Amino acid sequence: MTRPRGTDKAKVIQVIKTTSILGEGTEKDPVRYIYQYWDLKGNLLAKHDTLTETIVEN
């Protein structure tokens, strides 16, 4: 069994973070934030929908 050892490497990079509001305000589609992370060439890198609290990487 492998034990977690922590981070082996980290690097500071420039990304664009956008914040948008989604949802119609209904029980099936509540209003929430979505955060998207883009590189400087306009490519979507990842998004975080606060409804699911999961991060989806592209």
Residue (of 35, 26, 15) closest to 52 by Cα position: 35
**Per-residue confidence band for 32, with pLDDT thresholds at 50, 70 and 90:** very high
pTM beyond 0.75: no
Predicted confidence (pLDDT) at residue 17 exceeds the cutoff of 60: yes
Nearest to 45 by CA among 9, 16, 20: 16
- The Cα-based distances of 21 to 9, 10, 24, 33 in angstroms read 33, 30, 10, 5
Q: Is 47 exposed, middle or buried (0-12, 13-18, 19+ CB in 10 A)?
A: middle
Domain boundaries, the chain: 16-57
pLDDT in tens, 33-46: 999 999 999 999 99
